[in-house]
Amino acid sequence: MENKRPVVFVMGVSGSGKSTIGKLLAEKLDLDFYDGDDYHPEANVKKMAEGFPLDDNDRQGWLERLNLLAIENRETGAIIACSALKTKYRSTLQNGIDQKLFFVYLKGTFDEIMARLKLRENHFMPPELLQSQFNTLEVPEDAITVSIMQTPNEIVAHILKAL
């Protein structure tokens, strides 16, 4: 890996494993991990918990805050879990950041991810909103893409090799 201190956004729909993979990757690279869900304003969390998908307006301030987080960590590096579903969202996230930024797309089918969501407890995002996430998703062309059907260690090994 040419750059030892990258900023990496681990992206994908809800339930794809962003937090699990992000934490493991951060541990392997000795970088701080930030879960983008922790930066949602209360209104966004409430809206999702009530079963309503976020729209672009709901997401804009949240994406700008995560961009600032990336900028704050561009010298030290960081791993940030964020759905980053649309191309324009990813543009917002990388605004003002140089080549040190990478996106890792955790790819899975609707059925694979729904099976995971049904097992998940204590998360504000209900499984019923998964389809809205797939409807919003614009698959990135310039990301490190990894299938979620591997073990977390295999996924992280693939990411490390690609970095």
Q: Whole-structure pTM over 0.85, yes or no?
A: yes
| Stretch (H or E) spanning 25 | helix 18-29
CA atoms within 13 A on the CB side of 15: 25
Q: Is 128 exposed, middle or buried (0-12, 13-18, 19+ CB in 10 A)?
A: exposed
Segment 113-136 mean pLDDT: 77
Give per-residue pLDDT as tens, 43-65: 998 988 888 888 999 999 999 99
Residue whose C-alpha is closest to residue 91's, from 125, 66, 115: 66
| DSSP-assigned letters across all residues of 108-156 | --HHHHHHHHHH--S-SS-GGGHHHHHHH----SSSEEEETTS-HHHHH
Chain segment 78-108, per-residue pLDDT in tens = 999 999 999 999 999 999 987 679 999 999 9
**18-162, superfamily in CATH?**
P-loop containing nucleotide triphosphate hydrolases (3.40.50.300)
pLDDT higher than 70, residue 19: yes
Three-state SS annotation for 67-120: HHHHHHCCCCCEEEECCCCCHHHHHHHHCCCCCCEEEEEEECCHHHHHHHHHHC
Question: Is residue 33 within 8 Å of 104, Cβ to Cβ?
Answer: no
What is the domain partition of the chain in residue ranges?
Answer: 18-162
Q: Describe the strand order of the beta sheet including 101-107 as a list of residue ranges.
A: 32-35, 78-81, 7-11, 101-107, 144-147
> With 60 as the cut, is the pLDDT of residue 117 above it?
yes
Residue 3, pLDDT above cutoff 50: no
